[in-house]
Each structure stands twice: as structure tokens, then as C-alpha cells.
Amino acid sequence: MYNLDFKEDRPLDLVGVGRLCIDLNADQFNRPMEETKSFTKYVGGSPANITIGAARLGLKPGFIGKVSDDQMGRFIVEYLDGDNIDTTNIAVDHTGAVTGLAFTEIKSPEDCSILMYRDNVADLKLSTDDVSEDYIKNAKALHISGTALAASPSREAVFLALEYARKHEVVVIFDIDYRPYTWNNDKETATYYNLAAEKCDVIIGTRDEFDMMEQFEKEKKSDEETASKWFSHHAEIVVIKHGAKGSFAYTKDGNSHTSGTFKTKVLKTFGAGDSYASAFIYGLFKQWDLSKAMEYGSASAAIVISRHSCSDAMPTTNEIEDFMSKAERQGIS
């Protein structure tokens, strides 16, 4: 098992920190974006998606972020309000910054990519002035997206949130969420990722994302070696996702767990990680065995990649359990 001490008397379950953006998903898919004529607008941003997913599963989330002072910013806040997410700590930028856009290209179910417009985005204008110690100490857990470390002042805001979380014994969940378009160079990226990951209780990422973080090591690490490295810091749980092959999770007590996937009609592959994370985190709050939490995450991911959006598509517990009762399981491969 694992040792995560969620303080049950706190009103907020999971507070997300980082990117609040817009996904513009191609309406005409199975073709290159050059041939796309229209897009559908959804709330996006990995931490936003995970927070929305947690709300859909019945957790009480909050968010620390910054939005643009325009229709897109208002659309995002209103959407989160509609999902009963506490938005009192979402600041509004007044410097003219804009909302990040993620244009998604669906060439085929297996060949999807994201074109991100991230110049002068409001989410990276989040500053230490926007991070409330009182807000964080009223949370059971903080969920941080690595991309929020990509530039100042957001970077410093994240490290302050981490300090407050450690001070008030808030469980910290770190989703590596590496997006190359946002960083200057690999060494800078790994430096900041390591400084943050060393303070976190749960670290979730793909194999490639851990390899990026561990690039200063003498040689590439196995999943077990990666887990051991992060247990030597603050981690209690390390989850390593391997796409359609499944996922592996390790706990500090030396146990490991694997999860296969569920057969699904894949429309697009992005959204898998965010939906997996939100349902997995839900399982942690329920104090489930890791294998069950991973299976829940895998089911949520299978549902979301069969749908057009990420945020809108985040399922409820009823949807996940109905899906699990009917879907074909695929072992770890």
C-alpha cells in the first residue's frame, strides 16, 4: 500500500495549479490540419482537464491559475463554475496576455498532434501574489502541472505553492506534463522539473517524460530505477505510463503494480493522460489499492480517447463503471 495522508477535515479535495487554456479540436478529422475548415472549442490545459475530471467523479476541486481578461478567460471560469470547481483563486490578467490555444490535428486515430499557440499566455503570468497560503492549507491535495514551471513568474508561483503545501501537509501530486513548445532548452527543463519533483508525494508521467527529467543521470533508467530515485526524495508513489501498452506504478514500500488497457474505438489519443490521471487520483482519495486506481484511470482514458474532446469528455463514475462492465480488457504489453 501507500502512505498518503489526506486531511479529511479540509473543504477542498484537489487544487490544480497551472494552465487554463482552450482546445480547438479539428471537426474534420482523419486528415492533416491544413485541410481542416472548422474546430470545436473546449476548455483545455492539462491541469484544467484533470481538475474537471476530478469534479466529474465527485471530488471537490479548486484551482490556482490566471486567465486572460476577455471572452476566452470568462468562458473558462464559467465552465469550471458549472462543474462545481472553486474558482475563487483564479486571477484575471490585466497586462493584455491571451489564452493559450491548443489546435489538435487528428490525421488518424494513431497519428494525432497538437499545435500550441503559447506566446504571451495568461497562465504563465501566474505570480506568487496569486498564491494564497490559506487556500492551499484548506486543501487535501495539490496537483501541479510541470508546464507551469516553464517561465517566470508562473515558475516561482509553483515553487511557493509547493512550499505552502509542504508546510501544511498537503499531499502534492506532480503530473510531469512535458510540452516542449513552452521551454527554452532541455537542461533548463530538467533542472526545474527535478527541483519540483523532489518535493512531491506522487509523480505521474510517461517513460519519455521521466527520461527527460532524468537526463543528467549517467544512463537511462528502468522504471524500477526511476521509482527508486524518486523514493529517495519525497515520493510515495511513482506512476509510469506507457501509452497503449498500459501503465506501471510503484510504492515506497517496494510493491509494484501494472495495469493493461481497455479495448476502445480510438478517435484521438490525446486526452489519455489527463483522464487517466483524474481517475487514478480519484482512486487515491478513495484509498483504493493501486491496481484498482490504475484500472479506473485506464477505463477513463479509454472513454476519453474515443470521444472528440478532453474536458467535455471526462466521464462520471457511472460512465466508468458501466464501461468497465462491458469493455474488453487488454493485458500489459
Ligand X SMILES: Nc1ncnc2c1ncn2[C@@H]1O[C@H](COP(=O)(O)OP(=O)(O)O)[C@@H](O)[C@H]1O
Site residues for ligand X per CB under 6 A: 206, 241-244, 246-247, 261-262, 264, 266, 269, 272-273, 276, 298, 301-302, 305
**φ, ψ (nearest 5 deg) of residue 100:** -65, 145
CB 91 within 8 A of CB 131: no
Q: Which is nearer to ligand X, 92 or 244 (CB)?
A: 244
What is the residue type of 309?
S
297 scored as a contact of ligand LHLMWEOZ (CB under 6 A):
no
Q: Which is nearer to ligand X, 122 or 239 (CB)?
A: 239
How many residues would you count in the chain?
A: 333
44 scored as a contact of ligand LHLMWEOZ (CB under 6 A):
yes
**Residue 324 binds: one of ligand LHLMWEOZ, ligand X, none (C-beta under 5 to 8 A by kind):** none
CB 297 within 8 A of CB 173: no
Which element (helix H / strand E) includes 273? helix 272-285
Q: Of residues 12, 157, 303, 310, which one binds ligand LHLMWEOZ by CB under 6 A?
A: 310
105 scored as a contact of ligand LHLMWEOZ (CB under 6 A):
no
3-state SS, residue 231: helix
Q: Which is nearer to ligand X, 11 or 332 (CB)?
A: 332
CB 51 within 8 A of CB 74: no
Q: Of residues 65, 146, 271, 315, which one binds ligand LHLMWEOZ by CB under 6 A?
A: 271
- How many other β-carbons are positioned within 10 Å of the β-carbon of residue 41? 13
Q: Under 8 Å CB-to-CB from 184, ≥6 apart: which residues? A: none
For the record, the C-alpha cell of 226 comes out as: 526511476
190 scored as a contact of ligand LHLMWEOZ (CB under 6 A):
no
Q: What does the binding site for ligand LHLMWEOZ look like in residue numbers (CB under 6 A)?
A: 19, 21, 23, 44-46, 49, 102, 114, 270-274, 310
